[in-house]
A and B are shown apart, each in its own frame.
Chain A
């Protein structure tokens, strides 16, 4: 009895202490290594791009009449273009994506559900340039229409749908069966259970997924290069004329390679990151409002 007690209460062995230290160090090292590129990128962007952002004209003016040799002008045309295309993309992709996820989780059984799920997997793997070329073939080749902002949005929809389906699906599966059954047991029909119990419970997760999808889509460049030629002036019409976006603005000024243009490249890149960040924060706020009640 006495010996048993003394072994259970023995101090941690040295070899275990050592292993613990090594493992802890290794994990911190991995974390730091993973953070290096992130911090580096943000640091570079802020150092080189923050200058122009302080100028109010950056947020209100376009690049109209500005050449690569002169300083000045702003990114308003590109910001508004990026936001408009992203908004239309989300308006189409969110209902389709969330609807598909609801089908897969709540209704889908058997072969059709498996087929849909497989298609979503395939769509996940489609490179953005392929999505863009597909819309190009359809929009310009088959329908004979022009390269406009809406065509870009359609290509982005293809890229956003799988992201939303997968993230929403995951969130819906996290909602306990118990809750659905509790609602069924009250005599609530299935569709109403989904609308009033399941979706609100998963709401914050779904919004987070949508924001991730939006962030991905706003930085996509291939669809813009193929379907949305850059314009230096403000255009808010998604169905006619060239339309600027931040990635194409970056690309345009990058090619010019003169100091004023290069400065704008850094600032446009920083602006894009800030935009995505603001949207994510907004998403957090929205999801906070409608999410699970925690007791106060």
Chain B
């Protein structure tokens, strides 16, 4: 189920502006990889190249390779829509579809891709909500609006929606930055459970969070405004936080920089 991601010599551009330069890294399956680094160093940008969301932005393009279990996502003839069915995404701000009920939100990915069977949808919705640790809280109001939930519940709803289409990889871009500490803990617990089934990449601003949830951590930084972001090092999280091999990493995680 879960797949590995490999990038090699990946450059990411917005038009002529190179936002990320020469990233080569491996994201292991069934584990959580955290991307940390100062604002603007290209974490979100890099993350969005893993499901080809980057090219939704006008002028967005990449050079280099992104492999999903040896398949090049950017090879000629690869359908970006199919890539996004395989690699799901959760955004910074919870964004349930406002016209839809809780049930419809979770079912939306399947429905919009043509799945009709009522029992299959019912089962998937329940299973996804259970996996997102939200079922008990919403099972009596599945037909109510998703936007009526609290921020943390909305974010778990978005996670349920993302996993309902059975992706292989789940990308999360600062999924807790709009949430209170209790909701954040709920999401972190959830991430811990989800990594048994999915490959998870999480961008976070919060070093403690990276330390708590991730198995591996990648540290990025940027030489200055207008310069591209670069990968400084990637490795085992515990190792990285106790014995960073690069000076820049140490400065960042000890709070001397950024």
CA distance A201 to B148 in the complex (A): 16
Q: State the Cβ distance, A28 to closest chain B Cβ, in Å.
A: 36
Q: Contacts A295-B145, A295-B147; is A186 near B95 (CB within 8 Å)?
A: no
Chain B residues whose C-beta falls within 8 Å of the C-beta of A290 in the assembled complex? 99
List A contacts of B133 (CB < 8 A).
none
Q: Given that A181-B56, A197-B97 are known contacts, is A186 also in contact with B147, CB under 8 Å in the complex?
A: no
Residue of B85, B93, B97 touching A201 (CB-CB under 8 A): B97
Whether a CB of chain B sits under 8 angstroms from the CB of A293 is: yes
Q: Is the CB of B97 within 8 A of A182?
A: yes
Nearest A residue to B144 via CB reads A295
A187 neighbours in B (Cβ, 8 Å)? 81-86, 109, 113, 165
Give Cα distance in the complex from A181 to B88, angstroms.
Answer: 11
Cβ of B98 within 8 Å of any chain A Cβ, yes or no, is yes
User: A178-B93, A201-B99 are contacts. A186–B165 as well, Cβ < 8 Å?
Assistant: yes
Q: Enumerate chain B residues within 8 angstroms of A38, measured Cβ to Cβ.
A: none
Minimum CB distance partner of A183 in chain B: B112
What residue in chain A is nearest B114 (Cβ atoms)?
Answer: A192
Contacts of A188 in B (CB 8 A): 81, 108-109, 112-113
A184 CB to closest chain B CB, in angstroms? 6
Q: Do B56 and A186 have beta carbons less than 8 Å apart?
A: no
Interface residue B125 (Cβ < 8 Å from any Cβ of A): no
**What count of chain A residues pass the 8 Å CB interface test?**
28
Answer yes or no: B161 CB below 8 A from chain A CBs.
yes
Min Cβ gap A74→B in Å is 43
Nearest-neighbour CB distance to chain A for B153, whole angstroms, equals: 12
Q: Are A291 and B99 in contact (CB under 8 A)?
A: yes
Residues of chain A lying within 8 A (CB to CB) of residue B86: 187
User: Are the C-beta atoms of A186 and B161 separated by less than 8 Å?
Assistant: yes
User: Is B192 in the interface zone, CB < 8 Å from A?
Assistant: no
Is B190 part of the contact surface with A, judged by Cβ < 8 Å?
no
B84 pairs with A296, CB closer than 8 A: no
- The A-contacting residues of B in range 116-172, CB under 8 angstroms, are 144-148, 158, 161-162, 165
Q: Is B186 part of the binding interface, using a Cβ–Cβ cutoff of 8 Å?
A: no
* A56 close to chain B: CB less than 8 A: no
State how many angstroms separate the Cβ of B118 from the closest Cβ of chain A. Answer: 18
Contact assessment for A182 and B145 in the assembled complex, using a CB-CB cutoff below 8 Å: no
Interface string of A165-183 (1 = CB under 8 A from B): 0000000000010111111
Tell me whether B108 and A293 are in contact (CB under 8 A).
Answer: no
Is A185 in contact with B89, judged by CB distance below 8 angstroms?
Answer: yes
Which of A186, A292, A294 sits near B108, CB closer than 8 Å? A186
Contact B98 A296 (CB under 8 A): no
Name A182's closest neighbour in chain B (CB-CB). Answer: B95
CA distance A183 to B53 in the complex (A): 11
Bound-state Cα–Cα, A197 to B161, Å:
14
Complexed CA–CA distance, A201 and B100 (Å) = 9
29 A-B residue pairings within 8 Å (CB atoms): A109-B58, A176-B95, A178-B91, A178-B95, A179-B98, A180-B56, A181-B89, A183-B108, A183-B112, A184-B53, A186-B85, A186-B88, A186-B112, A186-B162, A186-B165, A187-B81, A187-B85, A187-B165, A188-B109, A188-B112, A189-B81, A196-B112, A197-B97, A200-B99, A201-B98, A201-B99, A292-B147, A293-B101, A293-B144
Chain A residues near B (Cβ < 8 Å): 109, 176, 178-189, 192-193, 196-197, 200-201, 203, 290-296
